[in-house]
Amino acid sequence: MLKTPYLLFLGDAPDALAAKVAQGIKDWRPDHVVGQLRLPGCGADMKVADMGLEEAYAAGARTLVIGVANRGGVISKAWMEVLKDALRHGYDLASGLHNLLKHEPELVALAYELGRALHDVRVPEVMYPIANGIKRAGKRCLAVGTDCSVGKMYTGLAMDAEMRKRGLKSTFRPTGQTGILITGDGVPLDAVVADFMAGAVEYLTSDNDADHWDHIEGQGSLFHVSYSGVTMALIHGGQPDALVLSHEPTRTHMRGLPSYDLPSLEALRDMVLPIAQVANPNVRIIGISVNTQHLAEDDALAYLAEVEGRMGLPTVDPFRQGAGRLVDALAAL
Q: How far, in Å, are 75, 139, 185, 284 from residue 224 at the CA level?
A: 32, 27, 26, 22
* Choices 48-56, 63-71, 188-196, 317-325; region in contact with a second copy by CB under 8 A: 188-196
Site for a second copy contains 228 (CB under 8 A): yes
Is residue 99 within 8 Å of residue 43, measured between CB atoms?
no
Among 26, 65, 67, 64, residue whose Cα is nearest residue 48 = 26
* Choices 5-13, 20-28, 226-234, 285-293; region in contact with a second copy by CB under 8 A: 226-234
The full length of the chain comes to: 333
* Choices 16-24, 91-99, 108-116, 231-239; region in contact with a second copy by CB under 8 A: 231-239
Site for a second copy contains 131 (CB under 8 A): yes
Site for a second copy contains 55 (CB under 8 A): no
Identified binder of a second copy from the candidate list 119, 236, 247, 325, rule CB under 8 A: 236
Among 251, 221, 244, residue whose Cα is nearest residue 314 = 244
Q: What is the dihedral of CA 126, 236, 177, 191, to 10 degrees?
A: 60
Is residue 152 within 8 Å of residue 219, measured between CB atoms?
yes
Site for a second copy contains 273 (CB under 8 A): no
Q: Which residues in 289-328 contact a second copy (CB under 8 A)?
A: none
Residue 185: how many other CB atoms lie within 10 Å: 16
Q: How far apart are CA 305 and CA 295, in angstroms?
A: 14
Identified binder of a second copy from the candidate list 278, 302, 305, 333, rule CB under 8 A: 278
CB of 162 to a second copy, least distance (A): 29
Nearer to a second copy, 133 or 138 (CB): 133
Residues that bind a second copy (CB under 8 A): 130-135, 189-195, 197-199, 222-223, 225-233, 236-237, 239, 254, 256-257, 259-260, 263, 267, 270-271, 274-275, 278-279
